[in-house]
Chain A
Amino acid sequence: MIDKVNLLKEMLACSLQGIYSLDVHVNDQGVHSIWCKLEDACDIQATASTVKKLGGRLSTITAYQLKSPQPSVNHEIAYHFDIYGATLTATVQLIGDDNKIMSLTPIFRNADWNEREFMELYDIKVVGHPNPRRLFIDESIDSAVLQRYIPYSAMVNAASTKTLWENIMRNRGED
């Protein structure tokens, strides 16, 4: 595995245009976790192409809001790739109005669902997606649902109807 990780380092050094940092962790069982921060979001395609050339695959994509100190309109997207058991997580940041990212579907077919999912959860646009329709959330529901404030009580449906309280009051003889 160490050969593949070194090859990945060399290939990224040749293919990435912007500044990036690379951090490699190896656990007690020899499993590699590679963390890569890309300053230029456009470099994600070159990173994906490098993984593909190495015989790796896209595992999944995680988008989230950056906290500074509260959740902001700034986003980070973590792309998780599998390279023969090692996981490369490459992150890019989308700051302010720059909420566009190129689709990885031309490189990895399975980017399709992942990109559709984070498009409906956050205010992020994917450029070049072949089928950018909603994945799980119905069109009738507002966009960017995960970056809107939803009270916890409403989320867990504890904001119940008044029937519950009417029953409690009745049981107490206070109706």
Chain B
Amino acid sequence: MTSFKVPVGPLHVALEEPMYFKVEVEGETITGLEITAGHVHRGLEYLAMKRNFFQNITLTERLCSLCSNSHPTTYCMALEEIAGIKVPERGQYLRVIADEVKRVASNLFNVGIMAHIIGFDSLFMHVLETREIIQDVKETVYGNRMDLGANCIGGVKYNLDAAKVKYLLAQIARIKTPIEEIKSIYNTDKFIGMRTKGVGVISKTSALDFGLVGPVARASGIVNDVRKDAPYAVYDKLDFEIQSRQGGDVWSRAMVRLDEVLVALSLIEQCLHALPEGQVCMTSLPIIPAGQAIAKTEAPRGELLYYLKTDGSDKPERLKWRVPSYPNWDALHIMMQGGKISDVPLIVNSIDPCISCTER
């Protein structure tokens, strides 16, 4: 059998962002992989240390589009931990609503792209058309389709009046049926099964070894979720289960994401019904003393961790964030081994990679 090295990327059909893979194959079978990253490395950690705490909210909102709410939420949580700031309860509920709205849009985008990669473009259109409902929600409630601009130190900078609550509940009711239909298609369609089941498999043992997080880990049977394991905001007051599957393949990862869309919709509904009256953020300017803190949230792709060290000035002494895609990239070595070269885009997409997040 003839061996080749096939360059894939850095600009690639499955992704809008650049990552360069050198795929070793024997015939059509993958025997090795080399990943070269850094095409969109922007030195954002350095930049964060040159900007003040307020400017960094704007910066962290722009790290990435799909998880553009998780970053400022987690960053603000780290600041609030150091300063001992208590976010008002209404603000906590509104943070959860914003995060879960983003989760719905992010997960649907990923499973929609999966349909596109396997050539099922009518399904791709159907998923993206359904996703437009939540995009319209974002535009109506937050004024923007991607960056919600929802967070500030000590709470949020948006509010929901009775009309907006009614509108949100109506949109969730409207999106539920098409989501159930989409899930049913992914669950039963023969062609989706043929292209995605048993493809890009990573076992639970390997997933633990690579420190995987989020839907990628949960699709390999690892039952972890920051919202349960280290609850923040008001997740400990909400009723939900961690979604996991056992297959560890492309299909399982897509199904976990679809399951989590339905959980996210339920969480938004619960928050809207339980939304307490009161302030949405602290009413005075924060004073950030010297200190250090860890803040963790469950972003759409998994655990997002912020480490913040302050020295009493108005800028971070060190700000580091570890995005969920970061550990998941390396696991492609296992997922691709023995697979077919034609499945590379499908496997890469199945980790729902975020390159602008990873490289910063």
Contact = CB atoms under 8 A, between A and B. Distances in A.
Contacts of B317: 64, 67
B43 A110 contact: no
A137 B42 CA distance: 10
Contacts of B208: 57
B294 A67 contact: no
A80 B305 contact: yes
A60 B330 CA distance: 14
B296 A87 contact: yes
Interface string A135-147: 1111000000110
A109 B307 CA distance: 21
B37 A59 contact: no
Interface of B: 37-38, 41, 43, 45-47, 50, 81, 208-211, 226, 228-232, 236, 292-294, 296, 303, 305, 307, 309, 311, 317-318, 320, 322, 326-327, 329-330, 359
Interface stretch (A92-100, A149-157, A162-170): A149-157
Given A82-B303, A110-B211, A113-B327, 7 more contacts: A60-B305, A60-B320, A64-B318, A112-B330, A137-B38, A146-B45, A150-B46
Interface in A16-62: 27, 29-31, 33, 35, 57-60, 62
Query: Which 8 residue pairs across A and B have the least CB separation, nearest first?
Result: A85-B229, A60-B322, A136-B38, A110-B211, A85-B230, A62-B320, A136-B41, A64-B318
Given A29-B236, A59-B305, A135-B38, A109 B209 contact: yes
A81 to B, nearest CB: 10
A138 B38 contact: yes
Contacts of A90: none
Nearest to A64: B318
25 contacts: A30-B231, A57-B208, A59-B305, A60-B322, A60-B326, A78-B307, A80-B294, A80-B305, A80-B307, A80-B322, A84-B229, A85-B230, A87-B294, A87-B296, A89-B292, A89-B307, A112-B330, A113-B330, A134-B38, A136-B359, A137-B41, A138-B38, A150-B46, A152-B50, A155-B50
A31 B211 contact: no
A155 B46 CA distance: 9
Contact of A108 (B211, B293, B294, B296): B211
B232 A31 contact: yes
Contacts of A152: 50
B297 to A, nearest CB: 12
B329 A31 contact: no
Among A112, A135, A136, find the residue whose CB has the most chain B CB atoms closer than 10 A. Answer: A136
B301 to A, nearest CB: 14
B230 A110 contact: no
A101 interface: no
B47 A156 contact: yes
Contact of B211 (A59, A78, A137, A150): A59
B37 A135 contact: yes
Contacts of A119: none
Given A67-B311, A80-B294, A89-B294, A27 B81 contact: yes
B211 A57 contact: yes
B231 A58 contact: no
Nearest to B50: A152
Contacts of B330: 109-110, 112-113
A123 to B, nearest CB: 15
